[in-house]
Structure 1
Amino acid sequence: MAESERPKIGYSCYFTRSREGEQFVPEHVFSYQLSGRLTMTDNSRRTQIFNEGDFRFIRRNNLVKYIKEPAPGGEFKSVSIYLDQQSLRNFSIQHAIERPVISSPGTVIKLKPHTLYRSYMDSLQPYRQDDLLISEELQQLKVNEAILILLQTYPTLAGVLFDFSDPGKIDLEGFMEKNFHFNVQMKRFAYLTGRSLATFKRDFEKIFKTTPGQWLQQRRLQEAYYLIKEKGQSASDIYLDLGFEDLSHFSYAFKNKFGLAPSKL
């Protein structure tokens, strides 16, 4: 599904199996953990755990890793409201909101419990029957309601919600050192550093004297060597966290670079 076609309200529900992965967050997200546990790690390696009854806010244009775990004998279930840019622009015009001072809270914010949050999330339940989401018009009303609630309970979020700028051109070397472990498309790295894909590749080769793909694999393998040799971690524990898609590919690349299998280090 294209990002522009994303529903404004989404439900996540899993039984028995845990799921883990990583994703690019294109829009602000306001979420409630109905059951199970969610572990999220942002690009600064900060990890937060959300249990049943917890609320969270995730800033747009960020990369995160996650682990979704069902409750023992139960399920993983959460509900999320996507605060898209067009809705926020329309809201700012309707309410004559001046450009606020941009604040810099973390990527993932654990919100303090509030009766407004709980009553709002409870109000969404009657609209979901037989896997049918509520209509576009009702979803929009609920998005606007969520914005009002967040502004009342967390006023400094205004600087985040109504910042409509795209990522500016930033230090490429520092960004890549901080985000090399995310396995996302190159165009995402380019966008988040404020560059077109062509400019990203050109700037990258000027700085690192190699291609992005080659540098990423070598940097991930260097980190893997350190974690296995110095920290005593196993290949199966770290390969996903370092951006490798499967264990066999990681083991092959590791042996090809260092001359021995990870288990022999």
Structure 2
Amino acid sequence: MRPADEDWFDPDIQSMALGYGEKAGLQIYRNYTRAFEDEGIKRFRQALVSAPGEYANFEKLARLLATEDIRFLPVIACGYADDVLKQVFLDVIPPDVPGGRSEMLSGYGPLSDLSKRIRLAYAFDLLSSDLMDAVDRVRSARNRISHDWDLSKIEDFYLTGRVSELAAVELMLAERAKDFPELDVVFDPASAFRIRLIWLMGRLTYEASLYHPAKVGGLKPYRALYADGGTAWLKQVSKICMAETRAVITGMAQRKSEM
């Protein structure tokens, strides 16, 4: 006696206009593939537990993003992102590439500046596409700041243009206020921007180390890095981001008390 379709098939397979045998074949193949991937993810994550990530540079960056003049933040973040992406390409480009890797990453090479590195990382799936889009938004804000001599005009730059549409991390964090009461606050726009940048750069740092290795291991990077609570390295990065988020909240409270 065959099992009821709704108990046996995934919803998308169940909805296909196929016979029972064809659906069963697809489901068996998917279950088989999923089991192998789950085991691969398990081993991938176990290896990370015994080899903690190196996040000292990100810790320094996060502190700067929490405390520096807000008009400098896109410049600081882009300088860091440029270095991170350079290392990503150094890790994946063969050392014996004609002309050498250094020529590709300097001068007039195809990877000589942040804009090119973002586009090619996106095009060749070296990092998540939405992450590269977000970093490019910060790059656009950096360009605007660096080409405007009148700083008074860019006092509220984070409220307009592409950078204003960065993922609202502060609202996502507010949903965790039950577990972390200090997150139950209303962020002013400048503080919200700081927090968005901190978590964005944290994600960039995290994926730069693990996205491509997960692909090489035959895994779906997003599942391997984030599903079901993610990896030990994600917890390390999140701890740093949370510490600086709290610092931003403390600074915001102090400014209000001084008014």
**TM-score if structure 2 supplies the norm length?**
0.24
Q: Which has the higher contact order (CA 8 A, sep 6+)?
A: 2
Please tell me whether Structure 1 or Structure 2 has the larger radius of gyration of its CA atoms.
2
Higher helix fraction: Structure 1 or Structure 2? 2
